[in-house]
Structure 1
């Protein structure tokens, strides 16, 4: 099974933010291809929804799915009991944004809408027009050519792909789910002359105003989800902003340098730089960070749990094997007679649950760490 690239990006960020596969008490996020494949096979997606992949469920009957087409990043939901494309509802525009909204399963009630041929042609026309427009400004092209994705500080992490620059404006200038423009002239509206040039983890945009090309594009920031757009000027020019990002990126592991450098940017009381400064203050020192990274890498290393002796509660172990492997009673009983039984395979951080479950029944277990590729 080939998973879309946007799922790979999502799961890497998810695993940094959460230490459990169950989040917000009920949402079960499927974190590897093995688990996804198990759901795909168990619920016969190949028969009913061959073009879609299950990525999470609500620990009940509802399941979130994505298309296996990389060009469609939307998150849809349906129920395990129906699995009919015509019954899809849209949860969110993409997995990252859904995560930022805390994985709601009841946020949207919009029926799935597909672009008509006319709408698609219009979208491509507008995209070409925007590409031609930004190509006139070398400073913009330079900014994207030398980007600095900086994690965990509220700074830019996501940048547009030039070939599809219009799609990056989704959620700001327009809403692709509801197929409507979000541009307006009232205070708090997203303005027609604005262009989002980057966003951070929280989907907060960094943007320019084409009307300020003569000033070499001052950079603005706004908090997403506030109900209105309130621009905060974060740099006097796009070149100046890039220089700031470069210094932060090159010294991202030097907390003392960042503390001193960012303190200067907060003197004017800039709300955005004060938030970045606070994020730096909360950073661990380098030794702690290195140890945390080692722990993180170790936690997500693949491991296997084997039963080497089923112990006194034979039938309870048989029952577990029957459930895990979806075996008949006779097949599970036969498996229980093996000298070494694979019980679990997955990230090391989650094996303890399996080990405790087995050892509480009196079984003897063995943990095997798999070699890193």
Structure 2
């Protein structure tokens, strides 16, 4: 993208991370901006162009400026400079790209992210900020606020007492997730709560082929197993090895 828009440079330098998985977590940089387009504008291995004017294609004017915690792109269109570059997103892995506008321009989106980062524990104020900045709470923003409510409910329902692992107890072991299933966002939130991790750290954890969610006696994990399976995740309980084995 030449020349590089000053409004975009300012936005990227700000680089605000609020913490919600659907909001920006990884930002492009001006020096490596073209490389950041890999997988969207270009094929990662061959460098082949992926842009297309076809319905559902990645349009030639679209450039990714950030990725959400779920690797969904947040992008602008170079032919909308006169409007201050409205910001769009589209779900990754849907088989097509359908742009959904989430902010009227880059400057407004940057200010909104900064404001949201200051009121992460106040959902009513967060929603008011979004309505003021964007004019409405569309499906993108609604999913963010719904995820916050679900996270709060998980925190209330899960036991707060830690159950220590006891390698001498035959029924003690590790609860592993071997496949996330279709509701990745909700599983990440649950893992975040169980492990006491920030959402960003939980997201990095679940990138592994399998990962530990909790440890303890099997009976103490029944509630958690049921929640994970209800979300479509595949779990496995691995008994701890007895001493000497």
Q: Which residue, 81, 101, 109 being the options, matches 1:241?
A: 109
Superposition deviation, residue 142 in structure 1:
0.7
Say if 2:86 is the partner of 1:182.
Answer: no
CA distance in 1, matches of 2:95, 2:142: 22
Structure 1 vs Structure 2 CA RMSD: 3.7
Q: Which residue, 143, 147, 159 being the options, matches 1:275?
A: 143
- Equivalent residues, number: 180
Larger Cα-atom Rg? 1
Report the CA distance shift for 1:306/1:250 in structure 2 as closer, same or farther (over 3 A).
Answer: same
Give the equivalent residue in structure 1 for 2:97: 229
Give the equivalent residue in structure 2 for 1:92: none
- Aligned partner of residue 206 in structure 1, secondary structure: strand
Superposition deviation, residue 183 in structure 1:
0.5
Q: Which residue, 350, 358, 361 being the options, matches 2:242?
A: 358
Report the CA distance shift for 1:358/1:233 in structure 2 as closer, same or farther (over 3 A).
Answer: same
Superposition deviation, residue 226 in structure 1:
1.4
Work out whether residues 21 and 70 of structure 2, in 8 Å CA contact, stay in contact via their aligned partners in 1.
no
Superposition deviation, residue 254 in structure 1:
2.9
Give the equivalent residue in structure 2 for 1:151: 19
Work out whether residues 86 and 101 of structure 2, in 8 Å CA contact, stay in contact via their aligned partners in 1.
yes
Give the equivalent residue in structure 2 for 1:173: 41
Work out whether residues 173 and 182 of structure 1, in 8 Å CA contact, stay in contact via their aligned partners in 2.
yes
Note the residue ranges of structure 1 that are not aligned, 5 or more in a row: 1-129, 308-346, 364-373
Superposition deviation, residue 203 in structure 1:
1.3
Note the residue ranges of structure 2 that are not aligned, 5 or more in a row: 169-211, 218-236
Work out whether residues 221 and 232 of structure 1, in 8 Å CA contact, stay in contact via their aligned partners in 2.
yes
CA distance in 2, matches of 1:273, 1:226: 19
Structure with bigger RCO (C-alpha 8 Å, 6+ apart) = 2
Report the CA distance shift for 1:142/1:264 in structure 2 as closer, same or farther (over 3 A).
Answer: closer
CA distance in 2, matches of 1:267, 1:283: 26
